Amino acid sequence: MINKNVEKIMNEQIVHELYSAYLYLAMSAYFESINLKGAAHWMRCQAQEEEIHAMLFYKHIVDRMGKVVLGKIDAPPASWKSPLEAFVEANKHEQKVTALINNIAKIAMQEADFASNTILQWFTNEQIEEEAQTDEIAQQLKLVGDNSSALLLLDQKLLTRIFTYPATLSAVVGGVAGGN
C-alpha cells in the first residue's frame, strides 16, 4: 500500500505532468502559427511524452492500492516572443519539474516508501534527458540568431523526432490505456 504522503504528492505530480503536456501543446500551436512545422512537431511529441509521465504516476498509485485524485490544470501561455523564448521557457519548466520529482523522492525516502524508489529513479534519469534536450535546442537557437536559413534548417531537424513509447514503459502505459 502506498504511503499517504507519497500518494498526495504523486497526485499533485499528475497535475504537473498534465500541465506540462498542455504547455507543450500550446507551444506546438504557437510554432504552427509562425509556420515552424518541425518545432511544432517536436512539441507535440513532447506533449505526448508528458501524458505518459502522468499515466505512470497514475498507474503507480493505482497498483499500490492508492486513490488517484485529479486536480485543476491551469491554462498555459498562448504565445511567445520568439522560438528561442519558447525553448528557454521549456527548459526552465523542465528544471522546475526536476525539482518537483526530487521533492517526491525526498518525501518517499523520509516516509520509507521504498516501493516508489524505482519509478522515481526512472523519472530522475528522465529529467536529465528532458533538461538536456530543451537546453540543446535553446542553445542552437541562440547560435541561429536572426539567420532565417539556419532557423529553417534547425526546424527541419526538429521535424525528424519520432515519438515512441519507451520499450520498458509500453506495457505499463498500454495497460493503463487498455484499462488493465
CA distances from 19 to 120, 164, 173 (A): 19, 21, 18
Residue 51, marked binder: no
Q: Is 129 known as a binding-site position?
A: no
Cα 134 to chain centroid, rounded: 11
The alpha carbon of 43 is separated from its chain's Cα centroid by a whole number of angstroms, namely 10
- Alpha-carbon distance 145 to 56, whole Å? 38
94 annotated to bind ligand: yes
DSSP label at 145? T
8 A C-beta contact, residue 38 and residue 136: no
- Residue 47: C-alpha distances to residues 19, 56, 66, 90, 111 (Å): 9, 14, 26, 11, 31
Question: According to the annotation, is 7 in a ligand binding site?
Answer: no
Assigned C-alpha cell, 120: 522515481
Q: Is 16 annotated as a binding residue?
A: no
* Dist. CA 101–CA 140, nearest whole Å: 27
Cell numbers for 82, please give them: 520568439
Annotated binding site for Fe cation: 17, 50, 53, 94, 127
Annotated binding site: 17, 50, 53, 94, 127
